[in-house]
Amino acid sequence: MIKVEHLKKYFPITKGFIRKKTLYLKAVDDVSFIINDGETFALVGESGSGKSTTGRTILRLYEPTDGKVFFNDIEITALSEEELKKIKPKMQMIYQDPYSSLNPRMTVFDIIAEPLKEYNYKNIEDRVLELLESVGLSEEHASKYPDELSGGQCQRVAIARALALEPEFLVLDEPTSALDVSVQAQVLNLLEKIQKEKKLTYLFISHDLGLVRYLSNRVGVMYLGKIVELGTIEQVFDNPLHPYTRMLLQSIPVPDPKQKSKRRRIVIKGEIPSPLNPPAGCPFHTRCPYAQEICKRKEPLLIEVKEGHLVRCHFAGEI
Q: What does the binding site for ligand SF4 look like in residue numbers (CB under 6 A)?
A: 243, 282, 284-285, 288, 290-291, 295, 300, 313-315
Minimum distance, C-beta of residue 301 to ligand SF4, in the bound complex (Å): 10
Read off the DSSP letter of residue 143. G
Of 58 and 228, which CB lies nearer to ligand SF4 in the complex structure? Answer: 228
Contact 215, 42 (CB under 8 A): yes
Residue 243's nearest CA partner among 271, 260, 223, 216 is 223
Minimum distance, C-beta of residue 284 to ligand SF4, in the bound complex (Å): 5
Of 33 and 284, which CB lies nearer to ligand SF4 in the complex structure? Answer: 284
Other CB atoms within 10 A of residue 15 CB: 10
Minimum distance, C-beta of residue 296 to ligand SF4, in the bound complex (Å): 8
Contact 240, 233 (CB under 8 A): no
Read off the DSSP letter of residue 267. P
Read off the DSSP letter of residue 146. G
CA-based end-to-end distance of the chain: 35
Of 160 and 295, which CB lies nearer to ligand SF4 in the complex structure? Answer: 295
What span, in angstroms and rounded, lies between the C-alpha atoms of 236 and 223? 15
Minimum distance, C-beta of residue 24 to ligand SF4, in the bound complex (Å): 22
Upper half-sphere CA count for residue 117 (Cβ side, 13 Å): 7
Minimum distance, C-beta of residue 280 to ligand SF4, in the bound complex (Å): 11
Of 45 and 64, which CB lies nearer to ligand SF4 in the complex structure? Answer: 45
Of 13 and 303, which CB lies nearer to ligand SF4 in the complex structure? Answer: 303
